[in-house]
Amino acid sequence: MAETGGTSGSGSPMDKVADIASDIGEYIRQQRNTAKISLRQLSKLAGVSNPYLSQIERGVRKPSAEILQQIAKGLRISAEALYVQAGILDLPTGGPVGDAIRADAELTERQKQVLLDVYESFRRENAAARPAAESSPAPDTVDTSDTPDTTPAANTRE
């Protein structure tokens, strides 16, 4: 039997590839506009031809990891951010703080990465300090057996 041209509800693999290409192209366009860089400027910075970059942004082409890395360099963002958008890498885990930083549209990719790095370094530092704090004696227990009693009641004779 021949198919009638309708698409199934789940979407074909080709549809999924087209969606990913469209998503990464839109993301690159947003990043380029945020950086106030023209398509031609990004083309030169990334070493990618102007027509090819235009096709990527329009979702006509799905770029390779190498091309994404060149584009990321031109945009001065992490290649990882583009890889996640392109479906090459899974979104990193990190809990609610990491998710909030990644979701903040007011921050650049570079600012997000710096914040995430600082946050993780604080967490590692605190985790390393925790076992040392747990093994030392509690600071509120003080041995006063050698200290003379100087309270007023101790100095009075009956």
User: How high is the pLDDT of residue 14?
Assistant: 56
User: How high is the pLDDT of residue 46?
Assistant: 95
CA distances from 83 to 21, 61, 77, 89 (A): 12, 15, 11, 5
DSSP designation for 122: H
Specify if 150 maps to a domain.
no
Specify if 137 maps to a domain.
no
**pLDDT tens sequence for the chain (158 residues):** 444 444 444 566 555 555 666 688 999 999 999 999 999 999 999 999 999 999 999 999 989 989 999 999 999 888 888 888 888 877 666 678 887 887 788 988 888 888 988 888 888 888 888 876 666 555 555 555 555 555 555 555 54
Do 78 and 101 belong together in one domain? Answer: no
CA distances from 112 to 65, 98, 99, 137 (A): 21, 9, 10, 39
Q: 115 is in which domain, residue-wise?
A: 96-129
Do 34 and 75 belong together in one domain? Answer: yes
Provide Rg for the chain, Cα atoms.
Answer: 29
Do 78 and 102 belong together in one domain? Answer: no
User: How high is the pLDDT of residue 4?
Assistant: 44
pTM for the full predicted model: 0.51
Specify if 157 maps to a domain.
no
Residue 63's CATH number: 1.10.260.40
Do 63 and 113 belong together in one domain? Answer: no
Report how many domains make up the chain: 2
| Phi/psi-derived region of residue 18, left when phi > 0, alpha when psi is between -120 and 50, beta in every other case | alpha
User: How high is the pLDDT of residue 12?
Assistant: 63
* Cα–chain center distance at 6: 38
Do 50 and 19 belong together in one domain? Answer: yes
Do 24 and 81 belong together in one domain? Answer: yes
Q: Residue 9 is encoded by which pair of tokens? A: 């509800």
Do 102 and 72 belong together in one domain? Answer: no
Specify if 26 maps to a domain.
yes
Q: Sign of the CA dihedral 45, 102, 24, 106?
A: negative
